[in-house]
């Protein structure tokens, strides 16, 4: 069973086919997949006008080639990083095939919603599985050293895993030029880690905890994220998040943070009061034990 706190729903990944220049607007509804800053312009150098909460619905009006989209919603409008938006499919339009998914694409006519299907096979018994055709693919096993039940997937994004595979991956075998990003939550939600060579046993963060994954070739941008733990030395219940802010930690996490792990160049700010007020401390490296001013006292956090 996962120890991650459910209040931070997974962060989805939208596959973006970006074209130079600002693209014409074709309004499309989407939801925020994490706490997401709404900025006054298309970039982190612009001021923060508002913050979206996870699953908040917005309308995409236009997008730029850098991956920033202008949105309108019930609050100050502005620009957000489209990597943290997930399209809202029309009612009754859900993909009928298990290996199909919705993707948000930025094209010359503006943002659009499409259905993309992969040719991966399902899981099998006794370590056999049903791998897809030879090529760039990843195979996942429920036992160490590539043993036990298995399934394989071609290049693509898999925002959720079937019940028979969810929280059961222990080892990963890569073929061709394939690499894989494994995530603890559905919708590519943190904690996530890139596996670039076969691993006979996943580490403690992900062993029997993977709920979504992306098989890819080449490279992906570094993923900034931070994890907050209730015990020293990164133990006990925890939650992870990508860049964003939480002005009021829920009861399950409030006054409970003791250690912090940061990844991908992220830094985290913790404050003893809500809305990032009172005594605050910013960390850019792992902290096995917070000092007396913050240990079990944080009520708001900010990751950037």
Query: Where are the domains positioned within the chain?
Result: 28-95+103-116, 137-216, 225-303
* Domain boundaries 137-216, corresponding CATH code: 2.60.20.10
Q: Looking at per-residue confidence, does 130 or 257 come out higher? A: 257
* Domain boundaries 225-303, corresponding CATH code: 2.60.20.10
Tokens at 61, concatenated? 């009006």
pLDDT at 270: 97
Q: Looking at per-residue confidence, does 234 or 100 come out higher? A: 234
Tokens at 223, concatenated? 């993923």
pLDDT at 204: 83
Task: Calculate ∠ Cα 183-189-191, nearest 5°.
Answer: 55
Between CA 35 and CA 16 the distance in angstroms is 20
pTM of the shown model: 0.57
202 has pLDDT over 50: yes
Between CA 60 and CA 72 the distance in angstroms is 7
Tokens at 4, concatenated? 């991650």
Tokens 């939550």 sit at which residue?
185
User: Do 28-95+103-116 and 225-303 agree at the fold level?
Assistant: no
Between CA 35 and CA 231 the distance in angstroms is 24
Between CA 304 and CA 300 the distance in angstroms is 14
285 has pLDDT over 50: yes
> What pLDDT, in 10s, does the model give residues 173-194?
999 999 999 999 988 888 999 9
In eight-state DSSP terms, residue 90 is: P
Burial 257-273 (b: 16+ CB within 10 A, else e): bbbbbbbeebebbbbbe
C-alpha 15 chain-centroid distance = 13
Instruction: Please give the average per-residue pLDDT across 277-283, as a whole number.
Output: 96
pLDDT at 161: 85
Between CA 187 and CA 37 the distance in angstroms is 19
Q: Looking at per-residue confidence, does 194 or 32 come out higher? A: 194
Look at residue 82 and give its three-state secondary structure. helix
CATH of 28-95+103-116, one of 3.30.930.10, 2.40.160.20, 2.30.30.40, 3.90.1150.10: 2.30.30.40
Other CB atoms within a 10 A radius of the CB of residue 100 amount to: 14
Other CB atoms within a 10 A radius of the CB of residue 49 amount to: 15
pLDDT at 34: 79
Provide CB contacts within 8 A for 44, sequence distance 6+: none
Q: Looking at per-residue confidence, does 301 or 8 come out higher? A: 301
Q: Where are the alpha helices (DSSP H) in 83-214?
A: none
How many residues are given for the chain? Answer: 304
CA dihedral 214, 72, 40, 32 (to 10 degrees): -30
> What pLDDT, in 10s, does the model give residues 129-173?
434 445 889 999 999 999 998 889 888 888 888 888 899 999 999
Instruction: Please give the average per-residue pLDDT across 40-69, as a whole number.
Output: 83
pLDDT at 53: 81
pLDDT at 19: 26
In eight-state DSSP terms, residue 47 is: P
Is residue 194 within 8 Å of 213, Cβ to Cβ? Answer: no
Tokens at 75, concatenated? 């609050």
12 has pLDDT over 50: no
């Amino acid at each position: 069973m996962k120890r991650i706190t459910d209040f931070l729903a997974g962060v989805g990944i939208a596959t973006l086919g970006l074209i130079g220049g600002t693209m014409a607007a074709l309004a499309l509804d989407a939801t925020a997949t994490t706490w997401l800053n709404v900025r006054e312009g298309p970039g982190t150098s612009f001021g923060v006008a508002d913050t979206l909460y996870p699953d908040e619905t917005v309308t995409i009006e236009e997008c730029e080639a850098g991956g920033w989209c202008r949105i309108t919603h019930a609050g100050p409008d502005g620009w957000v990083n489209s990597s943290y938006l997930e399209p809202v499919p029309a009612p009754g339009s859900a993909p009928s095939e298990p290996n199909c998914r919705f993707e948000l694409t930025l094209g010359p006519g503006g943002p659009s919603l499409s259905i993309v299907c992969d040719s991966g096979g399902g899981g099998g018994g006794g370590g056999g599985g049903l791998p897809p055709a030879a090529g760039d693919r990843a195979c996942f096993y429920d036992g160490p050293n590539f043993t036990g039940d298995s399934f394989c997937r071609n290049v693509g994004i898999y925002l959720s895993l079937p019940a028979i595979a969810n929280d059961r991956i222990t080892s990963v075998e890569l073929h061709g030029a394939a690499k894989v990003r494994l995530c603890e939550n559905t919708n590519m939600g943190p904690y996530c880690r890139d596996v670039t060579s076969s691993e006979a046993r996943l580490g403690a963060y992900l062993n029997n905890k993977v709920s979504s994954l992306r098989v890819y070739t080449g490279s992906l941008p570094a993923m900034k994220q931070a994890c907050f733990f209730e015990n020293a030395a990164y133990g006990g219940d925890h939650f992870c998040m990508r860049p964003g802010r939480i002005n009021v930690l829920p009861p399950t996490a409030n006054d409970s943070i003791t250690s912090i792990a940061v990844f991908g160049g992220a830094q985290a700010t913790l404050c003893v009061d809500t809305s990032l007020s009172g005594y605050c401390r910013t960390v850019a490296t792992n902290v096995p034990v917070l000092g007396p001013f913050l240990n079990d006292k944080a009520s708001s956090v900010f990751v950037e």
